[in-house]
Amino acid sequence: MKVGEGLGDKLMSPGEAVGRLVKDGDLVALGGFTVSRNPMLLVREIIRQGIKDLHLAVHSQGQALDLLVGAGCVSRLELAYAGTGRFAPTAIRFRRAVEQGQLQVEDYSNQHMSLRFLAGALGLPFMPCRSGLGSDVLNKQGFDPGLRGQGHIPPHKAIVSQNPFSREEDPVVLLPALTPDVTLLHAQYVGDDGTVRIKGLTFLDLEQARAASRVIVSCEEIVPAAHLRADPDQNSLPPFLVDAVVHAPYGAHPTACPYFYDYDPRHLSLYRQQAQSDQAFGEYLRQWVMDLPGQEAYLAQVGIEDIMRIKANSVLGYAPGLDRR
């Protein structure tokens, strides 16, 4: 039996997965975190298919968010943070889009977004917390008030309420649940039954997947399910939560995929340069997204030298001594 055959209809090409499961106007959650495990291959496919008017919901996202925003696929964004650490302390196309008023943005904190996805996963309408009391994250609304209660936008950004279990004054923040239409993740392993195994930190990927109506997982390797089920403590998501599996070696490049490859400092620096101007960014999109039919062509363009440079040490999970200047 060929590896992946057991997945049946769930095993899809990037084009099939995105074409069938991502629609114009969808509320989309992106997994990963700043420079790690961004679902880059899936995002490039969304851009190639010209999907528009997306409503993105993320905690701290970097490269995938910036590429989607820069390509004009996003109309509304709920986020805590947009950047890639030292490579782009503020995600560059995101910054430009916000400063030019091209994007409706609502700011939350990382804990807020975490609890909102967790509420969605648990089937709860809201979740309480104390983070942000007294701050403008709660005092200021980003979305046009006229949009509140429409589409995927809850009627209130957040509500500060009295803790019903306390006799003393005790304000708590109530946050509306998030239930994405589709969550996009990149994992290291998927079993040929659909079991997902994420190595390293899982960030918020599991809650984002559990909260979603549809889940697309791209992965470095599809492996026999028996291998994953022999050590189930290591597994992250059960097969029945996964709607599509895309075999995507280096599918998170230029962000890292622990134990497979590090982030690519040269590509992230190249991106930083090209993202500065509309013209150069257009060239980046043409060269690295539109004109490349598939992952093989993309990787050929990255080149064997950089592929080898970022190859992770299989014990440490990153590329020791990688030149990151």
Q: Would you tell me which residues interact with other proteins (CB under 8 A)?
A: 32-36, 59-60, 62, 79-87, 89-91, 94-95, 98-99, 101, 107, 109-112, 114, 118, 130-137, 139-140, 142, 169-172, 200-207, 256, 258, 262-263, 312, 316-318, 320, 324-325
Nearer to other proteins, 140 or 227 (CB): 140
Identity of the residue, 110 or 213, whose beta carbon is nearer to other proteins in the bound complex: 110
Amino acid symbol at 268 = L
Q: Which residue, 14 or 132, has its beta carbon nearer to other proteins?
A: 132
Question: Given the complex with other proteins, which of 169 and 231 has the nearer CB atom?
Answer: 169
- DSSP secondary structure letter of residue 286: I
67-80 burial, b if ≥16 CB within 10 A, otherwise e?
Answer: bbbbbbbbbbbbbb
Closest listed residue to residue 83, CA positions, set 107, 105, 98, 66: 66
| CB 137, min distance to other proteins, A | 5
Q: Considering the complex, what minimum distance in angstroms separates the CB of residue 171 from other proteins?
A: 4
**Residue 34 vs 179, nearer CB to other proteins:** 34
Q: What is the DSSP string of 153-202?
A: --S-S-EEEE-TT-SS--EEEEEE----SEEEEEEEEEETTS-EE--S--
Compare residues 121 and 182 and give the one whose CB is closer to other proteins.
121
The minimum distance between CB 44 and other proteins, in angstroms, equals: 20
243/226 Cα distance (integer angstroms):
20
Rg (CA), the chain: 20
Q: How far apart are CA 236 and CA 190, in angstroms?
A: 10
Closest CA to 181 of 161, 205, 209, 204: 209
Q: How far is the CB of 87 from other proteins (least distance, A)?
A: 8
Structure tokens at 50: 């010209």
Question: Whose Cβ is closer to other proteins: residue 11's or residue 34's?
Answer: 34
Sign of CA dihedral 295, 296, 297, 303: positive
Burial class (CB in 10 A: 0-12, 13-18, 19+), 131: middle
In whole angstroms, the minimum distance from the beta carbon of 266 to other proteins comes to: 14
Nearer to other proteins among residue 150 and residue 234 (C-beta) = 234
CA 254, CA 5: separation in Å to the nearest integer? 29
Min. distance of Cβ 25 from other proteins in angstroms?
A: 23
Please state the closest distance from residue 276 (CB atom) to other proteins, in A.
15
Give min distance, CB of 280 to other proteins, in A: 20
